[in-house]
Amino acid sequence: MKILVIGGSGTIGKKIVEFFSKEHQVIVAGRSSKDYPVDIADTKSIKELYKKVKETGKVDAIICAAGEAKWAPFKDLSETDFHIGLRSKLMGQVNVVRYGHKCLKKKGSITLTTGILADDPVYQTTSAAMVNGGIHSFVQAVAIEMRKKIRVNVVSSGVVVDAHHKYESYFPGHPPIPMEKMIMGYRKSVSGRVNGEVIRIYS
Amino acid sequence: MKILVIGGSGTIGKKIVEFFSKEHQVIVAGRSSKDYPVDIADTKSIKELYKKVKETGKVDAIICAAGEAKWAPFKDLSETDFHIGLRSKLMGQVNVVRYGHKCLKKKGSITLTTGILADDPVYQTTSAAMVNGGIHSFVQAVAIEMRKKIRVNVVSSGVVVDAHHKYESYFPGHPPIPMEKMIMGYRKSVSGRVNGEVIRIYS
């Protein structure tokens, strides 16, 4: 398979690239990529990426492990702060799907990324939880309409082992998720036949 | 109790006003209200409403049954279409909570409104499902931070009886929800002690 990974140099993206590279051709895109730069908060940049990828031939799968949202106490979050998440993690991922057909083979798959906050939020995550929850419902809704053309799923993982030292204090009592276990979520979406599934990996 | 109902002339809002008016003082606000006009997509108008309500004395509860999102096939929804829901049903309801303290008594409650699409979407609802799902996660997250000051819940109902004739064809196989049953969700939030709860009324 040929797989496009957007956000391929982040904590999760790196592992996705490492795993799928063993058996597949992987194109790594992201904000810091020189060959395939993309910022999903900018719709134009998604379209440009897809155009560039298509020139090398359409892909079998798109995985998006990009997208941000502002963390802060609710009382400190401005409307502009909320819009960071709305533009990036929420509409950014929606746009990854909206324009996916431009570089994705028919019957290909798109896999988005959220996280446990959607179901089990912690302090300072009103914005982050919200955009994650929005993507969960979006994926279920969009799968109904796209099922004859492509599959769309989302992987929602708990705090992964590689980020645990950084986020541990924010997630008291949340078990760290081994990277191999997190990867299985993406594998299920890319190589399986599931569609419209929120693949939860919380323990 | 004194209760502010935003969106008090819609299908659901009307019944909420009718029910709570039996035993409580209800202030009805909405886009078509002459005394308490408000469009939740416009943050300034929420602030003005709260200021006006506060002049009559703070309320014990705010219920929001307002908010819209565009329904259309995914392929026809423009980014601007998605922003209708983001501004209104999503950020509109977030802002109802953000500024709630301006007219809500300490220990008061805010009750938002979504719908079954968040969990069980149908055709043409990628945008509507998304904003509903976003609010579900938001409510769980915000309750963690506000619990010493106010309670925040959301009522997510299936297609109510009074709207069934209009939406029946969009929701094949979805049982119509009696209005009295839907109302119980708001009653649980306003008069109960629950906090951060997605009150699902799907059958």
* B101, B137, B147: best to mutate for the A interface, most A CBs within 10 A: B137
Name the residue facing B130 among A117, A128, A134 (closest C-beta): A134
- Are the C-beta atoms of residues A156 and A200 closer than 8 Å to each other? yes
A86 pLDDT more than 90: yes
Q: Is the ipTM of this complex over 0.85?
A: yes
Pairing mode of beta strands A151-157, A104-113? parallel
In chain B, domain spans? 2-201
- Which positions ≥6 away from A64 have C-beta within 8 Å? A6, A7, A40, A93, A96, A110, A111, A112, A113
Chain segment A157-181, per-residue pLDDT in tens: 999 999 999 999 999 999 999 999 9
For residue B72, the chain A residue with the least C-alpha distance is A145
DSSP A188: H
For residue A133, the chain B residue with the least C-alpha distance is B134
By the CB < 8 Å criterion, does B74 face chain A? yes
C-alpha–C-alpha distance, residues B147 and B106, integer Å: 10
Query: What SS3 string covers chain B?
Result: CEEEEECCCCHHHHHHHHHHHCCCEEEEEECCCCCCECCCCCHHHHHHHHHHHHCCCCEEEEEECCCCCCCCCHHHCCHHHHHHHHHHHHHHHHHHHHCHHHCEEEEEEEEEECCHHHCCCCCCCHHHHHHHHHHHHHHHHHHHHHCCCCEEEEEEECCEHHHHHHHHHHCCCCCCECHHHHHHHHHHHHHCCCCCCEEEECC
By the CB < 8 Å criterion, does A140 face chain B? yes
- What percent of chain A has pLDDT above 70? 100
CA A108, A53, A63, A188 torsion-angle sign: positive
Residues of A in contact with B74 (CB under 8 A): 98, 141-142, 145-146
* A76, A138, A171, A174: best to mutate for the B interface, most B CBs within 10 A: A138
Residues of B in contact with A81 (CB under 8 A): none
C-alpha–C-alpha distance, residues A190 and A186, integer Å: 6
pLDDT at B147: 87
Chain segment B18-51, per-residue pLDDT in tens: 999 999 999 999 999 999 999 999 999 999 999 9
Look at A74 and B98 and tell me if their CB atoms are within 8 Å.
Answer: yes
The strand pairing partners of A157, in sequence order, are A201
By the CB < 8 Å criterion, does B131 face chain A? yes
pLDDT at A147: 87
Look at A121 and B98 and tell me if their CB atoms are within 8 Å.
Answer: no
Nearest one of A151, B52, B42 to B28, comparing CA atoms: B52
Q: In CATH, which of 3.40.50.720, 1.20.120.80, 3.40.50.970, 2.60.40.10 is domain B2-201?
A: 3.40.50.720
A12 pLDDT more than 90: yes
Write down the mean pLDDT value for chain A. Answer: 97
Smallest CA–CA distance, residue A8 to chain B, in Å, is 25
Residues of chain B whose pLDDT is less than 50? none
Name the residue facing A86 among B86, B123, B126 (closest C-beta): B86
Chain segment A98-144, per-residue pLDDT in tens: 999 999 999 999 999 999 999 999 999 999 999 999 999 999 999 99
Look at A130 and B137 and tell me if their CB atoms are within 8 Å.
Answer: yes
By the CB < 8 Å criterion, does A154 face chain B? no
Residue B185 exposure: Cα atoms within 13 Å on the Cβ side: 32
C-alpha–C-alpha distance, residues A173 and A186, integer Å: 25
Smallest CA–CA distance, residue B190 to chain A, in Å, is 22
